[in-house]
Amino acid sequence: MLLLIGILIGLMLGLTGAGGSVFAVPLLILLAGMPMTDAVGLSLGAVAASTFYGSARLSRQQRTILWQPGVILAAVGAITAPAGKWLGLQIPEPWLLVSFSVLAAVIAWRMWHTAKRNPQAAQVVRAGDFTQMPPPELLCNLSHTGQFELRPRCVTGLLIGGVVVGLLSGLFGVGGGFLIVPLLLMLSPISMAQAVSTSLMIIALVSSSGFISHLLMTEHNPWQLLGFVSAGGVVGMMTGQALSHKIAHALLQKIFAVSLLAIALVTLITNAL
């Protein structure tokens, strides 16, 4: 069952782009019968393993990963993720579930809204192949040497975004791509391909930090469980990589948005009863 959950997590990460990792926690609660605290920790580990695989693949495509802003976001997120994990341990599980369901609803709405207003963006997923895409016009975001230009307002936005991503990742076990991608697109006129590639690297590092903090702050040792879920996650990511250009479109984003909302509500109702 854990292997199947991992495959589903990796597949959705590969196919949906931003927001796929938020499926991990409710799947682990519903199908594996885990309490939310353990599900959050295992979700972070599984998401980290899946996204490290995808990030390693994309690292060969130098023009698609924005290393300078990516490192800033990842470093700040990795520092604040343990604080989010600690905060999650202080909140009663029923309230944590309600908060997670609200977050899932927001992500589902954003996925639906993006697919409806900008269907072209749904064609770009983290598992996709960006080698054939033309280089983006970064305009003022490139210096005369061709490097990403980190101006004060941009750095401030990255720092604030990193704090929010880290806290939410540690608190709810989500990767944070649903925030990272629009943040990068808002701060600069970069391509969607660069935004999703950079977010993959950031998610891998932030999720790793959150998982390590879970190991340090709790008495549970999920290494054996993590092996099954992570193996499935990599298989799912590979499958998403192979299928992304054939079925990744606006309709798929809408289907996943509805599925996410439904599974969050079922998780909330099941635990309430």
- Mean per-residue pLDDT, 62-85: 84
- Per residue in 31-55, pLDDT (tens digit) is 888 888 888 888 888 888 877 877 7
Which pLDDT belongs to residue 131? 43
Q: Tell me the sheet residues that pair with 148.
A: 142
Which pLDDT belongs to residue 63? 56
- The total of structural domains in the chain comes to 1
Give the Cβ contact number of residue 145 at 10 Å. Answer: 6
Geometric angle at alpha carbon 177, from 62 and 237, rounded to 5°: 70
Which pLDDT belongs to residue 133? 44
Which pLDDT belongs to residue 134? 43
- Mean per-residue pLDDT, 161-179: 83
Tracing tokens 């989500």 back to the chain, one arrives at 174
Question: Residue 168 is part of which domain span?
Answer: 2-272
Q: Tell me the range of 31-45, 76-90, 143-157 where mean pLDDT is highest.
A: 76-90
Sequence-distant (≥ 6) Cβ neighbours of residue 28 within 8 angstroms: 5, 34, 38, 39, 42, 43, 229
Q: Measure Cα distances from 252 to 112, 155, 228, 255 in Å.
A: 10, 34, 27, 5
Among 27-31, 99-103, 139-143, 216-220, the range scoring the smallest mean pLDDT is 139-143
Q: Tell me the sheet residues that pair with 142.
A: 148
- Per residue in 182-195, pLDDT (tens digit) is 777 777 666 667 77
User: What whole-number distance in Å separates Cα of residue 39 and Cα of residue 216?
Assistant: 16
Which pLDDT belongs to residue 75? 94
Average pLDDT of the residues of the chain: 75
Confidence tier at 218 by pLDDT (50, 70, 90): confident
Sequence-distant (≥ 6) Cβ neighbours of residue 71 within 8 angstroms: none
- CB–CB of 175/203 below 8 Å? yes
Sequence-distant (≥ 6) Cβ neighbours of residue 105 within 8 angstroms: 261, 264
Which pLDDT belongs to residue 143? 57
Instruction: Classify residue 63 by burial, with Cβ atoms within 10 Å: 0-12, 13-18, 19+.
Output: middle
Pair of tokens at residue 151: 């101006």
- Residue 66, amino acid: L
